[in-house]
Amino acid sequence: MDVSDLIDPLNAAQREAVTAPLGRALVLAGAGSGKTRVLTHRAAWLVRVEGATPFNLLAVTFTNKAAAEMRGRIEHLLDLSSSGMWVGTFHGLSHRLLRMHWQEAGLPQSFQILDSEDQRRLVKRVMRDLKVDENRWPVRQLQGFINARKDAGERPDDLDISDPYMGPMAQVYKAYESACQIAGVVDFAELMLRTVETLQNHLELLSHYRRRFRHVLVDEFQDTNGIQYQWLKLLAGPEADVFIVGDDDQSIYGWRGARVENLQRFREDYANTQVLRLEQNYRSTSNILEAANALISRNSDRLGKKLWTDGAEGEPIAVYAAFNEQDEARFVIERLLRMTEDQGLARSDFAILYRSNAQSRTFEEALLARRIPYRVYGGLRFFERAEIKDALAYLRLISNRDDSAALERIINTPTRGIGTRTIEALRLTARNEEISLWAAAQRLVQQAGVLPARAANALRGFIDLIEQLAAEIEAAPLPDQLEVMLQKSGLRGHVAKDQSERAQDRLENLDELITAARSFEQDATIEEGMDVVTAFLSHAALEAGEGQAGEWEDCVQLMTLHSAKGLEFPIVFIVGLEEGLFPHRMSTEEPGRLEEERRLAYVGITRARQQLILTHAERRRLHGRDDLGIPSRFIRELPPELIEEVRARFSVSNGASAMANSWASEANEFSLGERVQHSRFGEGIVLDCEGSGPSARIQVNFDDAGAKWLVAAYAKLERI
Ligand code: ATP
Ligand code: MG
C-alpha cells in the first residue's frame, strides 16, 4: 500500500492532523467529523512514514467493539494480518499488563476477574462479617463507594477512618480488599489501579514500557476518568508522541467519574500541544446534523465547535407518539420491515437505542414474535447469566482453588447437601485464619468433630469432585473440558430439571458456551504464558455486557445510548423519549446532570446516517409501574421545521381492546388519512376513529357519498 492511500481519503484538516509533526496533538471535533478515521490513519502513518513499528504503538479506546474495529482498520491500512500491537480498552490492556507482570503486581499467576455481580456478593459478605447495617449502608452504595475510591486512585489507608460517615465505609473497603487478595481476584476498577501502582512501584517496568510505547493514541478522550488519565500519563512519558481525539459534547460518563476537564488538563500537562479541529461531518444528512447542532447549543460551557455537511438534506426527523410501550415496539418494527423492503436495507442497518437496559425487553419480545434476528449489546450479558456463571465458576475454581467467590457460587449448585451452617463454618475459619474458603474446607474435613459427619462427608465429596475434575480435564481442549465438567458436576442435569419454561433456554445457553469456547480456542490470540482456560475466563469477564460471543448474523442492533458511542448506523430509532426516562429522572434536578443527558441525546442523534426516528409513549409500564409519559424536552428542543410527526394510528378492532391486542388486530387497524373502499359507498378517506371493541366507530369521507360514521365491525372496509 502506498502512503497516498493514507492521505487521499482525507480532507485538508484531517490530513493536517494525520501528518502532524511528532509531539502532542489534540483533535477536538464534533460527532462524525472523522476523529476515529484520523486516529487510525495516524497510527498507520507513524509506521509507514515516521519509522515506528507496530510494536511501538499503544492505542486505547473504551469498548471492545470499538477496539476491535480500530485494530481491524489499522491492520488493514498497514496490510498486516495480526500483529503484536497494543490496541484495546483501558481494562483490556491493563489486564494484559497484569497477566504479564503478575509477580510485580503482587497477584497469583492465575488471578481471576470479579464482575460486578460477584463484587456485590463479596461486599455483602464482608459487610455481614463486619456487622455493618445494610439498611443504613446499602450494599450497592458501598460497592459504588469502593469503585469510586479506586477510580480516584485511593486505597483504604488514604481515607479518614475516624470520620463517622466515611469510617465504616473505609473499613468495609479495607476488609473487601483483603478478601480479594486472599481469593486472588481483581475487580474492574482494580485492574486499572493495580496497573498504575505496579508501574509506579517498578520503575524498570515503567521505563521498559515507555521505551516501547513511543506513540500513544487515545480515542474518546473526553470520557477518561482520574485513574485512566493517570494511567495514560504514566505510560506516555515525557518523551512520547501523544495523539488524542475527543469531543467535549459527547462526554457521557460524568456519573462514573469521567472528567471532561481532562481535555484542558492535557493541554496544561503536556506543553506545546497542537490543537486541531475538524468541522466537516461526513456521517449524517443535513437535517440530522442541524437537529443535533440545535440541541447541543442549549448546553452552556462548551468548548464550542461548528459542524457542517455538504451532504443531502435527507428525510425529516420522524416523531411518533405511541399509546404505550407495546404500540411503540409495533411501530418501530413495522417501520423497520417496511424500510427493509422498500429500500433494500439489511437488518444490521437498523439500531434501536434506549436510555435504560430494561427497555429492551418489549422490543426483544416483539422481534421474537416476528422472528426477526436481533442482537443486544450491553444488556443481554451472555456471560452474566446464572447458568453460564455457574459453569465458569467451576472452571475458575478448578484453575484457582483460592477463588472463594467461585467456590461460594457452586459449593451447593447443584445441591449436594452442603447447607448454610457448613458454609458459615467455612467462612468463620477462613476469616479467623485468613485463608481461602477452599483451604478452610480442607482443614475442616481433616479435623474430626468440627462438622457433623453428614456435613463433613458432603464437603469431602465436593473437594474430591473438584480434584477429580481437575485431574481429568487438565490436558483436554477447552470445549471438551467444559463438556466433561458440565456432565460430571451435575450442572447440566441440574439445569435440565429446572421446572420453569426457561430450562430449554438455559440448556441452549450451556451449549452456546461450548461453542463460544471452541471459537475462542480457534480464533483468539492468547498471550504468551497464559493458559487457555485463564484466557477464556478473562475474556468472559471482560466481554460480558457487550453482547454474545459467536455468530455475526445480519441482526437488528439493540443497545443503550451509552453503548452506541462511536458507532454509526444508516437508520436509528431512539425510543422512550419521555420526561423521567430520558432525560432520566435522577438528572432533572441537577443542571449538570441534565446537560450530560443532553449530550447523551446528542450522541444518539449523531449515530444516524440517513434517517432518525424518535418515539415516545403516552403510557408506559416499566419496572412494574404504570406511568403517564410527557414527551421529552429533547423533542421540543429540536427545530420544529426539521420534524415530521407520524400520525397516530387509531385501532379499531372487532375483538377485545385494540390497544391491548395490537398484534392480533392488525387487519382492522386504519390510519387516519388512509384510503379505504366500502362495498356500497365506494372509495374514501379515513377521517376519525373512536371507541374500541364491537362498538368502535370509524368516520370516512367518501368521494361520492360524503362523510359518514360507520360501525367498524360491520363496515367491512378494505384498504386500497
Ligand atoms: P464520533 O464522534 O461519533 O466518534 P468520529 O469523529 O470518530 O465520530 P468517524 O467515525 O471517524 O467520526 O467518521 C464518521 C464517518 O465519516 C465514517 O463513516 C467515516 O468513514 C466517514 N468519513 C470520515 N472522514 C471522511 C472523509 N474525509 N471522506 C469520506 N468519508 C469520511
Ligand atoms: Mg469516533
pLDDT at 379: 46
Please compute, for residue 522, the number of CA atoms within 13 A of its CA located in the half-sphere on the CB side: 8
Distance CA 87, CA 56 (A): 11
**Cell reading at 485:** 465438567
- Active site residues per annotation: 35-36, 219-220, 250, 607
Q: Which residue has the cell 475474556?
A: 539
Domain range for 176: 112-183
Q: Are residues 91 and 161 in the same domain?
A: no
Beta strand pairing call for 24-29 and 241-246 = parallel
Q: Look at the alpha carbons of 494, 499, 502, 503 in this order and tell me if their dihedral is positive or negative.
A: positive
Q: 389 a known binding residue?
A: no
Q: Does residue 154 sit within a domain? A: yes
Nearest CA owner, ligand 1 atom 4: 566
Task: Collapse the DSSP code of 401 into the 3-class scheme (helix H, G, I; strand E, B; otherwise coil) and give the result.
Answer: coil
- CATH code assigned at 176: 1.10.10.160
Asked whether 125 lines ligand 1 (CB < 6 A), one says no
- For ligand 1, say whether the CB of 37 is within 6 Å of any of its atoms: yes
Domain stop point among 516, 531, 557: 516
104: Cβ contacts below 8 Å, ≥ 6 apart? 198, 201, 202, 205
State the burial class of residue 372 (Cβ atoms within 10 Å of its Cβ: 0-12, 13-18, 19+).
Answer: middle
- Has the ipTM of the complex gone over 0.90? yes
Strand-pair category, 649-651 with 669-671? antiparallel
Name which residue sits closest to atom 30 of ligand 1, judged by CA: 282
Known binder of ligand: residue 34? yes
Instruction: Select from 277, 283, 293, 603 the residue to mutate for testing ligand 1; criterion: most ligand atoms less than 8 Å from CB.
Output: 283
Q: Is 283 in the pocket of ligand 1 (CB under 6 A)?
A: yes
Minimal-distance CA residue to ligand 1 atom 26: 10
CATH number of the structural domain spanning residue 442: 1.10.486.10
8 A C-beta contact, residue 534 and residue 110: yes
Same domain, 446 and 461: yes
Torsion angle, alpha carbons of 197, 202, 208, 212, to 10: 0
The answer to whether position 304 is within a domain reads no
How many angstroms is it from 35 CA to the middle of ligand 1? 6
Q: Residue 602: inside a domain, yes or no? A: yes
Question: Helix/strand/coil (H, E, C) string of 556-599?
Answer: EEEEECHHHCCCCEEEEEECCCECEECCEHHHCCCHHHHHHHHH
Ligand 1 atom closest to 281 (CA): 16
Domain count for the chain, please give it.
5
Domain-ending residue, one of 516, 536, 562: 516
Residues 578 and 679 in one domain: no
Ligand 1 pocket, residue 538 CB under 6 Å: no
In the three-class reduction of DSSP (H, G, I as helix; E, B as strand; rest coil), residue 339 is classed as helix
Is 35 assigned to a binding site? yes
C-alpha–C-alpha distance, residues 258 and 518, integer Å: 37
How far, in Å, from the CA of 21 to the mean position of ligand 2?
Answer: 22
Residue 308 lies in a domain: no
30 and 119 inside one domain: no
Of 495, 476, 335, which Cα lies nearest the Cα of 398?
476
Low-confidence ranges of the chain (pLDDT < 50): 379-380, 545, 547-551, 651-667
- Rounded Cα gap, residues 185 and 108, in angstroms: 9
Residue 349, all three cell numbers: 442497518
Same domain, 134 and 218: no
68, three cell numbers: 476491535
C-alpha cell at 470: 481437575
The last residue of one of the domains, among 628, 646, 664, is: 646
Asked, for residue 526, whether it belongs to a domain, the answer is no
Let me know if residue 297 belongs to a domain: no
CATH number for the domain harbouring residue 621: 3.40.50.300
Report the nearest atom of ligand 1 relative to the CA of 30. Answer: 2
pLDDT at 502: 63
The answer on 198 and 148 residing in a single domain is no
How far is 709 from 484, CA to CA, in rounded Å?
70
User: What phi and psi, each to the nearest 5 degrees, are found at residue 245?
Assistant: -130, 145
> How far apart (Å, rounded) are the C-alpha atoms in residues 351 and 570?
8
Of 542, 631, 49, 70, residue with least CA distance to 321: 631
Strand arrangement of the beta sheet that strand 718-719 belongs to? 706-711, 697-702, 682-690, 675-678, 718-719
Cα Rg, the chain, nearest whole Å? 29
Q: Whose CA is nearest to atom 18 of ligand 1?
A: 283
Is 33 within any annotated ligand binding site?
yes
At 80-92, the pLDDT tens digits run: 876 678 999 999 9
The answer to whether residue 337 is domain-embedded is yes
Query: Is the pTM higher than 0.80?
Result: no
Find the 567 Cα to ligand 1 centroid distance in Å.
Answer: 10
pLDDT of residue 669: 67
Ligand closest to Cα of 607 equals 1
Question: Does residue 287 belong to any structural domain of this protein?
Answer: no
Type of residue found at 286: S
Q: Is the CB of 10 under 6 A from ligand 1?
A: yes
CA-to-CA distance for 245 and 223, rounded, in angstroms? 11
pLDDT, position 623: 64
Please check whether residues 230 and 332 belong to one and the same domain: no
* 408 and 507 co-located in one domain: yes
pLDDT at 456: 93
For residues 376 and 432, state if they share a domain.
no
pLDDT tens, position by position, 272-295: 899 999 999 999 999 999 999 999
The answer to whether residues 269 and 403 belong to one domain is no
Check whether residue 207 and residue 175 sit in a common domain: no
Same domain (yes/no): 51, 91? yes
Q: How far is the CA of 79 from the centre of ligand 2 (A)?
A: 22
* Atom 16 of ligand 1: nearest residue by CA position: 282
Gap between the Cα atoms of 67 and 432, Å rounded: 44
Determine the distance separating the centroid of ligand 2 and the alpha carbon of 588, expressed in angstroms. Answer: 28
For the record, the C-alpha cell of 546 comes out as 457487550
